[in-house]
Amino acid sequence: MKKIVILLLSVLLFISCRQTKEPNLDPTEKEKIVKQYFELFNKHQWKEMAAMYAPVSDFKDPSFGKEMITQTRKQTIDKYTALNAVFPDLHDEIIHIYPSDEKHIIVEFISSGTAADGTKFKLPVCTIFTIENGKIIKDFTYFDNFDDPESNK
């Protein structure tokens, strides 16, 4: 009985050591992914851009409130389609890409656009993307959403 237990433990140990994780993307691959993301954004190709996300992804974004939410690709398409309807010339200009650890990459950019009434906006933004298996699984975006500090009390 003792030999069987030792044999089973040895087999389990061997199997667990042989299991390999999905290889992590090197920094240049993550950079290619985010550059493609912003190219699609600037072409307003929301369906193709949304396909770069996992089927359901985590988001932190002041436009969603203070808590993390999950969204489907369709919800992402709907969000950017609505934003693009208000700002037909919606555009993001990458300022700098900061490779981080094996799953993360940080992008600093300026988002801009003009509404139908001529109102323009220009907004500095920073996004931390988490990428696994070539798909964005987390999009944590930070910007000043012009909230009145008094409304947060």
- Assess contact for 107 and 126: CB atoms under 8 A: yes
Query: 62-108 pLDDT, tens per residue?
Result: 988 889 999 999 999 999 999 999 999 999 999 999 988 889 999 99
Across residues 32-36, what is the average pLDDT? 96
Domain range enclosing 81: 24-145
Look at residue 15 and tell me if it is in a domain: no
Instruction: Please tell me what DSSP assigns to residue 22.
Output: P
Look at residue 152 and tell me if it is in a domain: no
Query: 117-153 pLDDT, tens per residue?
Result: 999 999 999 999 999 999 999 999 999 866 544 444 4
Q: Looking only at Cα atoms, what is the longest distance across the chain?
A: 82
CATH code of the domain covering residue 88: 3.10.450.50
pLDDT over threshold 80, residue 6: no
Instruction: Please tell me what DSSP assigns to residue 112.
Output: E
